[in-house]
Chain A
Amino acid sequence: MTRLLITYLKPYWKEITVVFFLVLVRAVTNLYLPTLNADIINDGVAKGDTGYIWEVGGYMLLVTLLQVICTIIGTYLGAKAAMAFGRDVRSAFFRKVESLSQGEINRFGAPSLITRSTNDVQQIQMVVAIGLSLMLFAPMMLIGGLFMALRQDAPLSLTLAVILPLMIISLGLIIWRALPWFRSMQVKIDRLNQVMREQLSGVRVIRAFARTDYEARRFERANAELTEVGLRVMRLFAIMFPTLFGIMNFSTIAIMWYGAIRIDSLEMPIGNLTAFIAYVMQILMSIMMASMLASFIPRASAAGTRVQEVIDVEPGIVDPANPVMIPSLAGEARGVVEFKDVEFRYPGAEEAVLTNVNFTARPGQTTAIVGSTGSGKSTLISLIPRLYDVTSGSITIDGVDVRDMDRSDLWSHIGFVPQKAFLFSGTVASNLRYGDEKATDEELWRALEVAQAAEFVRAMPAGLEEPIMQGGTNVSGGQRQRLAIARALVKRAEINVFDDSLSALDFKTDSMLRAALKREITNATMFVVAQRISSIMHAEQIIVLDEGTIAGLGTHDELMETCKTYQEIVYSQLSAEEAA
């Protein structure tokens, strides 16, 4: 966490220096007040000098005023620095993630990245904010208080030799006992959450198997365990506060007793006793404050590590220094994609996901990719938009290696429909225009027609302007897929990549969509990954993947003759006559 703090607090060193100085003033004034009070008693009250009392009183007022001004300015600058720090970390974090490849993102997982960028940063930011006010203040008060106490009466300060260790040891003991309980409490909370989450997600199964009572017992156990730990923690707190305040109170009594002896022997003026007690209270309060604030640190430090970890990632895929553009061959068909001896393995993986992949996909043709789960279908097509880089071999578009192109240029040639149809919050239209902001309404409708989405969009109350909720949760899975397809079509790219994008559609819609695509897209290169054989039976070229290698390449009829893996897949889905 230290590195994160140094890097991102550096721009605010001026504010922080001022805050440091202001906190110092605050601490000094705070410590000064009891001294003035002692003066009032020693030189004013004891001597009956009312004029002096008024004078010192006015002085105290000024000190108080100075203190409040310093505190407010300090709070202002501290809040500003801490929150700006949080903003900068978030910004750096977001930019970093945007520059990462999908593989690098998957290493952390999107949900984890979301937590890191918001909750974790918030944690650190909070500690910085507290640190700039209280955490600086507490040690200053501690040191200053000790110094002032010694100045009041050194022998009396011997009482501190007993009081301070007592306070620190009891605080330490309590925290030492509490920490494992806190951890155990978190485990119990997670457990309770898990049981409830399962009850909610499995409600149908639980009721279908008539196991409500069993679930109630499971919950009961988790609930009782949580309550038990909670009770232990709360009871520890019940001991903690009386103990700490008890120590403070008994310190006062001890000081009074010993102070009386010192005063009686005329070694200390009486006003100093009052001041001394005030200082000891401040010392003890600052120890309590510091130890409690310190309990924030482990959590924030863990959060800091998680954030730094992401910021430190070096993106594996970067744009070339001198990007090459695809040569514009006037009049000729464009979008020839060629895989040459492509091999791909995930970093650190023992086995390659893809080996020895060779094929050429041409404009106006559909290249279908089939194979069982884990055979590398999705990986293969994600290599085209360079979501991953090949580990050896090459992929070229119209003769240009994708790694030699600027990625934004590369992407402008590709219409991509991912496996999980993902829509952004906004409207139907804003989603469709994601690839081409200038597309007209007519163009949108045309894409919707092809994607078999026009009918349901027309039926929506607001049509194209119908709001889409985040993640597209307000439309069904099949509608989401069709909208994602329409979005790619609006882009009118030379290369279209459909990653198992028809899975949620029923047979009828599936086939109508395919027919429409065939009519509409005549000169683009199509890649289609599919589970359903019927969806790709008519493709010009079918690639059968088995454990990362091409087990067969050809048309449906050819493969039915030659490829055993293909036959296996086909027969698992169709009866013999359907496959013929």
Chain B
Amino acid sequence: MMPGPGRRGPRGGHHTPGPPGLIGTGDKPRHFKESFKRLVRSLRPERVLIVVVIALTIVSVACQIAAPKIMAGATDDIFAGVMSRQINGYAGDSWTKEQVVAQLEATGETDMAKMLAEMELRPGQGVNFASVNRVLLIVVAVYLLSALLAWLQGFLMAGIVQRTAYKLRRDVDDKIALLPLKYFDSHARGDILSRLTNDIDNIQQTMQQVLMQIIQSILTLIGVLAMMFWISPLLALISLIVLPVSAVIAIVIAKRSQKQFARQWDRTGDVNGHVEEMFTGHNIVKTFGRQQEAIDTFDQHNDGLYEASFKAQFISGIIMPATFFVSNLNYVAVCVLGGLRVANGTMSLGDVQAFIQYVHQFGQPISQVASVANVMQSAVASAERVFELLDEEEESADPLPPVVLEQAAGHIVMRDVSFRYVADTPLIENLNVEVLPGQTVAIVGPTGAGKTTLVNLLMRFYEIDEGSITIDGVDTRDMSRDGLRRLFGMVLQDAWLFSGSIQDNIAYGKEDATWDEIQAAAEAAHVHHFARTLPDGYETVVEDDSTNISQGERQLLTIARAFLADPQILILDEATSSVDTRTEVLIQRAMARLLKGRTSFIIAHRLSTIREADVILVMNEGDIVEQGTHHELLCRKGFYYDLYNSQFAEALEEAC
């Protein structure tokens, strides 16, 4: 079992690096049976190959089991040769075996006589090499066959496992595309990622190792036991006592150590959490003078971790010597009893040697089978987490056939719209808005007022509960989601880039965009200039978390993307993030150019934008509390007036 370096994803934290195969993750599946069955079902497309693999395994194991017994023939031949020479002392070359035995009995060496009576003696001739070589050749053939079959079995199994894991990962990705946005809001990104990588990886490894191991182990156990009984029922019975003893010891210790491993992971979590907090909040810890306390808490968690991991390490470390001890007891018993039986002729030496080999073969599968339960449990828990994701409720299907709006004027009407994220807390109630083609709508309001929700509903990221939203008279639910969203262009506050060149990132706005179109969009969004100053120009690779371009430049890139997409309706989220003044000016200019001639919604933070808007929607607590132009709203002296007043008292007098 070679440890695969780096087989874990970046968040491979929750898996146990304990002794391989012995300890599971400590995760317990909630519905073991159902999930297990489903995991088995996922192997169905491979069932023919699996049958082949099992058949190969049976033959391969049978070969391995048969080999020592065949080899025993060679040992017996050699032993017989030795004895043949030894009896030379008191027998002539021409004596037959019967004569030798009779002679021995006559001199009172009954034990020796009994032993020799069972042997192929050729007095005075030594080892029968023809016979030894024949036996050894057969063993060579058997081992070769066994190795070949084992290789073939592993080769096929690799395919089965990899294909199954591939399909699982693909299913997860397909699923991601069908999940409503709600799901992503309520589930941590790391958690979804971990299911895709760690969990599927865990399933894959378990399938690769454990599945074959368990088949092999069980077959080996049965086969070895059969051979043992065939050779010597008495010795086999003794070994059979060892089986449960060893299994019980392994299981008892494994259970205890699992508890300790679980504790170790808890403690690791404590240390991790504390370290993470203290390192990220370093300046606060310092300037608030809490370093000593931080160190004390750390020591406490660290000691706890030491305590738990020491116990886990020790207890799990005992399993091997303990089972080893039991199997050594067995070994000694076989040596002694076997020796005695050879001496009185009821067993051949070759058989004893074969039996000793079987005893060795016997010990391993026992501890393996004992550990399989744990590992299986962890794999099924992983499978359950993957299935859970695959079972999440999907977005409703697009209508068939969808209404297609090739060119929208941008006349948007929201009628009696109600929406809630959580069933019993209404967020938007009876919302009515009409936007005429080409109008600029500014959405303002305090944080958490529901500005983003409005956008989410427009683009059908969420489904409205009541009412309707129409574009040029077409209900958005009668269009396909992709068709609807193609009408929109969106520039969000956190400018999302994917890993790829600047050119690719702009081209994201339109499939099959030509180089000229890309360049035109880049120029319109003031990207052209800074892209040219980068080392690789448009080919410079950026990543979502990369630092080679600034926040403002990222923003410009997403504007360029929207330019290229050339949508009829625009959604802009004005940035308040740290952007330097000069870039800020560029962004404003680019946005202004983008707005021209399009119906647009702006989540506005800048008062200058708000003042120039055709309609201002003032939102508070999920509701549009006021609607109108800047001038109208100011003179109404309502919520907007307060909002504005709090900001610019002086400027107010002139406005009204």
Contacts and interface: CB of A to CB of B under 8 A. Distances in A.
B648 A411 contact: no
Contact of A84 (B299, B306, B490): B306
B317 A211 contact: no
Interface in B281-295: 281-291, 294-295
Interface in B563-581: 565, 576-581
A296 B565 CA distance: 51
Nearest to B309: A83
A452 to B, nearest CB: 11
Nearest to B331: A33
Interface stretch (B108-116, B371-379, B516-524): B108-116
Contacts, number: 455
Interface in A266-305: 266, 270, 273-274, 292, 295-296, 298-299
A519 interface: no
B193 A193 contact: yes
Q: What bracket does the count of chain B residues touching chain A fall in? A: 35 or more
A372 B606 CA distance: 17
A323 B279 CA distance: 27
Nearest to A227: B166
B336 A54 contact: yes
A216 B174 contact: yes
B332 A57 contact: yes
Given A102-B283, A193-B193, A204 B331 contact: no
A416 B321 contact: no
Contacts of A569: 581
B508 interface: yes
Given A200-B193, A212-B177, A575-B611, A234 B9 contact: no
Nearest to B648: A578
A476 B447 contact: yes
A202 B349 contact: no
Contact of A209 (B115, B509, B650): B509
Interface in A372-395: 372-375, 382, 385, 387
B503 to A, nearest CB: 15
B461 interface: yes
B408 interface: no
B250 to A, nearest CB: 14
Contacts of B473: none
A438 interface: no
Contacts of A199: 173, 176
B96 interface: no
A242 B140 CA distance: 14
B100 interface: no
Contacts of A194: 499, 543
B628 interface: no
B654 interface: yes
Contacts of B550: 373
Looking at A122, A189, A385, which has the most chain B CB atoms within 10 Å of its CB? A189
Contact of B151 (A233, A239, A568): A239
Contacts of B111: 48, 50
B5 interface: yes
Given A182-B6, A208-B490, A231 B82 contact: no
B115 A253 contact: no
A503 B447 CA distance: 11
Interface string A452-486: 00000000000000000011000011100000000
Nearest to B132: A260
Interface string A202-240: 111101111110111001100110110011011101111
B492 interface: yes
Interface string A423-439: 01100000000110000
Contacts of A572: 581, 584-585, 588
Contact of B321 (A71, A192, A418): A71
Interface stretch (A72-80, A333-341, A345-353, A359-367): A72-80
Contact of B126 (A67, A264, A382, A534): A264
Interface stretch (B31-39, B268-276, B463-471): B268-276
Contacts of B162: 227, 230-231, 234
A214 B77 CA distance: 71
B631 interface: no
B157 to A, nearest CB: 7
Q: What bracket does the count of chain A residues touching chain B fall in? A: 35 or more
Nearest to A52: B339
Contact of A64 (B208, B325, B588): B325
Nearest to B208: A234
Given A203-B176, A506-B445, A534-B647, 17 more contacts: A41-B339, A48-B109, A57-B333, A80-B314, A90-B302, A98-B278, A129-B313, A199-B173, A204-B492, A205-B490, A259-B78, A411-B286, A435-B288, A471-B280, A491-B288, A503-B578, A573-B584
Nearest to A570: B581
Contact of B127 (A61, A64, A235, A260): A260
A264 B81 contact: yes
A261 B446 CA distance: 96
B370 interface: no
Interface stretch (B142-150, B233-241, B525-533): B142-150
B310 A79 contact: yes
Interface stretch (B220-228, B424-432, B478-486): B478-486
Given A208-B488, A298-B5, A72 B67 contact: no
B74 interface: yes
Contacts of B67: 249
B511 interface: yes
A257 interface: yes
A252 interface: yes
Interface string B501-518: 000000011010000000
Interface in B528-555: 543-544, 550-552
Contacts of B650: 580
19 contacts: A84-B310, A114-B272, A114-B275, A117-B275, A196-B173, A196-B193, A197-B193, A201-B189, A204-B461, A205-B558, A227-B166, A234-B154, A239-B151, A373-B580, A407-B286, A416-B283, A508-B642, A573-B584, A575-B608
Given A245-B147, A408-B289, A274 B343 contact: no
Interface string A111-137: 001100111001001100100010000
Interface in A20-44: 33, 36-37, 40-41, 44
Given A270-B79, A507-B643, A534-B648, A478 B313 contact: no
Given A98-B295, A257-B132, A295-B3, A204 B140 contact: no
Interface in B301-321: 302-303, 305-306, 309-310, 313-314, 317-318, 321
A207 B287 contact: no
A150 interface: no
A563 interface: no
Interface string A525-565: 00000011010000000000000000000000000000000
Interface string B1-41: 11111110110010001000000000000000000000000
A470 B544 contact: no
Given A90-B302, A238-B155, A76 B314 contact: yes
Contacts of A235: 154-155, 158
A10 interface: no
B169 A192 contact: yes
Contacts of B433: none
A173 interface: no
